Structure 1
Amino acid sequence: HKGSVNVARFNHDGKYCLTGGDDRRVLLWNPYKDPGEEVAPIKEYAIHSKQVLDVAVAQDNASFASCGGDKTVFVWDVGSGRVLRRLVGHDQRVNAVAYAGTDCSVLVSASYDKTVRCWDCRSRNAAPIQVLADHADSVSSVAVCGHEIVTGSIDGCVRSYDLRVGKVTCDRLGQAVTHVTLSHDSNCVLAGCLDARLRLLDK
């Protein structure tokens, strides 16, 4: 990369990794090189017009999504490098993206425009199937498990959306939230904040 690397993600079986950076590119890497062997990207995915901020890999490892400063989410075929979908609807940069559903049929994107948008990857309809607009500031991070979407926002809140019953739970941390991740059993949320602290929330 030429410039900052903003995200690095392994695929689900750990055989390759993807990185995205300020140079507007996503690069595919083989992380298992022999010591001393030159490390070079296997493939380059370049269509973003501004920095790439996040990448999410589908469960089958055949496709991935990227998002960034150009307000757009792209879905890519890993092998061919072809763009499968271009998802437009956010008014500001897209900070984070994650797959949802057992078959990764839904894509969730979080934006500086204070919204989270859910997209049906199987539909030809370009509009989001749901927009979550409860945030008072930029949505910095999103995590998904089954029917639940968890978001972290600069407004200092961690929100959990239960899509089955339409319920929203809000934990007010009093500090801007920069990242959220779920425990493996999905019973806890770990939140990183701008005050240099991690907060563990029991759901």
Structure 2
Amino acid sequence: MSTVSCDRVLSNHQGSVTAVKYNSDGAYCISGSQDKTLKLWNPNKGSMIHSFEEHGYGIIDFCSSLDNKQLFSCAEKQLYQWDIANGSVVRRFQNAHNDTITCVCVNNDSSLLFTGSNDKLVKAWDLRSNSFNPVQILDDAKDSITSIITNETTQTVDLSGHEVITSSVDGSIRQYDVRMGTLTTYDDTIPISSVSITKNKKCFIASCTDETIKLIDIDTYDTLKEYKSHKNSTYKINSCSNYNDSLIIGGSEDNDFYIWELSSAKLLHKLSGHTNVITHVNAHPTKNQFITSSTDCTIRIWSTQE
């Protein structure tokens, strides 16, 4: 990979953009912001398709279903389910947790939604039921939950269907088999701001607040590589691999977008453009195109030229 350039800047948000994610096939992307809105975009045209505007607080996180029909979002203690086609709210959970909800993730058949919170709990919600009560509560974390992975749609990860992976400020990554009732844990002392999984499902990618991204073997919990040079000590900033696991991408508090070679941990690119903290990064599912969001209220779309 020789050069990376910014193709487009999306600037319709009026507040810090907390996250931006491709949908399951990469044809569209969705962003969430402190301006209380979620926006659906065509990243190739740089055009906004729809703005979802029912939340009363700034958006913290969101996810879309694998079939791209549903959107789930959290803001403060609110949890919303949307119909993407008509932009309407299907369901509202007004006090889903006792503290701010920090992350949401839906499984592949959209039957279960998982939420994590500053109240240290992970809750599972049965989307086929009319109940507003969780069907399961996982209470093993000793501090705030920072991210959740299940049959994740935005990164095209296909786990077993009943496996849930969480990261926490307590420094742990927890792997739950909710069907078997088992738990295995990777423990560290450094707070983890997010966890993702490589596309081959062999490694965790953990963003830690000691300004290190760790590549961790999913079976042995051995740290295989560490990626450094970026700044991350305060904000919740994520990292992930690209579509073929050749690269690691990450945001930074120094406003730059970082790209490392996965196998060697060599820093390949430090890319300027954003004027404030990069809060979230996401990789296209089938090609080397990336999107970044920032507290500068913008989204940038990046691509490679071989």
1:195 to 2:210 alignment: yes
Give 5+ residue unaligned stretches, structure 1: 34-38
Shift of 1:186: 2.6
Deviations 1:175-202 (A, max 9, x none): 0010001222333211111001112222
For 1:18 and 1:90, locate their aligned partners in 2 and report how far apart those are by CA, in whole Å.
24
Structure 2 counterpart of 1:132, which letter? L
Matched, 1:42 2:54: no
**Mapped pair 1:73 → 2:79:** yes
- In structure 2, stretches of 5+ residues that fail to align are 1-12, 151-158, 220-306
Letter of the structure 2 residue corresponding to residue 15 of structure 1: A
Aligned identity (percent) is 36
1:21 maps to amino acid: S
C-alpha distance in 1 between matches for 2:202 and 2:176: 14
**CA shift digits 1:136-169 (9 cap, x unpaired):** 1110111113221111100111111011211111
Cross-structure match for 2:135 = 129
Match of 1:154 among 169, 172, 176: 169
Q: Higher relative CO (CA 8 A, sep ≥ 6), structure 1 or 2?
A: 2
Q: Distance in 2 between matches of 1:162 and 1:199?
A: 23
- Distance in 2 between the 1:28 and 1:13 partners? 14
TM-score, scaled to structure 1: 0.92
Look up the SS of the partner of 2:44 in the other structure: coil
- 1:13 aligned to 2:25? yes
Q: Number of residue pairs matched? A: 196
Q: Specify the alignment match of 2:60 in structure 1.
A: 53
- Aligned-partner SS, 1:109: strand
1:120 to 109, 115, 126: 126
Whether 1:172 and 2:187 are equivalent positions in the alignment is yes
Q: Which residue identity lines up with residue 107 of structure 1 in the other structure?
A: L
Q: Secondary structure at the match of 2:48?
A: coil
The TM-score with structure 2 as length reference comes to 0.62
Partners of 1:68 and 1:200 in 2: CA distance: 30
The separation in 2 between residues aligned to 1:132 and 1:7, in whole angstroms, is: 25
Amino acid at match of 1:16: Y
1:6 corresponds to which letter in structure 2? T
Quote how far apart the aligned CAs of 1:171 are: 1.1
Deviations 1:88-123 (A, max 9, x none): 3201111111112x4121011111110011001111
| Alpha-carbon distance between aligned partners in 1 of 2:24 and 2:14, rounded to the nearest angstrom | 26
